[in-house]
Amino acid sequence: MTKWLVTAVLLMLGSFNGAATAQWKISAIGGYGFDDKMNFNTTDGRYFNAKIKSSALWGGGVEYVLKNNYGLELLYMREDTEVPVDYSYGSELGDSNTTRRIGINYILLAGNGYTSIADSPVQPFGSVLLGIALFSNKNAAEGSPSSSTKFAFGVRGGLDISATNELGFKVMAQLISATQAFEGEFYLGNGAAEYGLDPETNMLQFGISAGVTYRIGFGK
């Protein structure tokens, strides 16, 4: 996964070096990710209920415009949040709970498609996102892993607004999934696997964001 991201960056840089009229967009973004829940239950009374709490998102991207209506963007986003977990290893063991502080780094490649509106500075756009999500557990349970790398994908849509040839703005909404992001062992330690409470469930989070874009090569 990391190899094809590096390849995409090299292709983008090669296009920049080889085309004097290349168009680029460099963006800084900030936003908000909403709650996402995960529940796991068994017939013998064991359960694992976790929730990624809503939190701020921030990051940036570098986009090479392939044509007027298409672009390829390397995107980075960061989220620092808390994950409260309620769980039981079995009905005879009682209920427990904990809260983990989690950092998530997204590294994504976005294919952007734009729709032009005649005589308007506004371009609606949609994106397909593919990449990785790097999870770090800041207060990991004893014996549990403190980091985890997962495949991530999603979709995004919004408006790209040109203020001048050099300055633009973006407003957008996104839906991002990380495969098998919730693992009992990652949040609860090795005891989760020992008691058979080690689910692997996808994360699916909705977010909204906005940003400012510096535009290179436009208006020529």
Q: What is the CA radius of gyration of the chain?
A: 21
Residues 6+ apart with CB under 8 A from 115: 69, 123, 124, 125
- The rounded mean pLDDT for the chain is 86
Residues 6+ apart with CB under 8 A from 215: 23, 24, 25, 162, 165, 166, 167, 168
Both tokens of 211, joined, read: 């940003």
Note the pLDDT of residue 5. Answer: 53
Distance from C-alpha of 195 to C-alpha of 40, rounded to nearest angstrom? 14
Note the pLDDT of residue 199. Answer: 73
Note the pLDDT of residue 16. Answer: 46
CB 150 within 8 A of CB 180: yes
pLDDT of 194 strictly over 90: no
- CATH, residue 126: 2.40.160.20
Residue numbers of the domain that contains 7: 2-216
Mean pLDDT of 20-32: 89
Nearest to 181 by CA among 138, 149, 142: 149
3-state secondary structure (DSSP) of residue 100: strand
pLDDT in tens, 142-192: 878 899 999 999 999 999 999 999 999 999 999 999 998 888 888 888 777
Distance from C-alpha of 79 to C-alpha of 103, rounded to nearest angstrom? 6
pLDDT of 108 strictly over 90: yes
* pTM summary value: 0.85
Q: pLDDT tier at 123 (50, 70, 90 boundaries)?
A: very high
Mean pLDDT of 111-127: 94
pLDDT of 54 strictly over 50: yes
Distance from C-alpha of 183 to C-alpha of 39, rounded to nearest angstrom? 11
pLDDT in tens, 65-98: 987 789 999 999 999 999 998 888 776 667 888 8
Distance from C-alpha of 198 to C-alpha of 187, rounded to nearest angstrom? 10
Note the pLDDT of residue 7. Answer: 53
Note the pLDDT of residue 57. Answer: 95
Count how many domains the chain has: 1
Cα 89 to chain center, whole Å?
A: 31
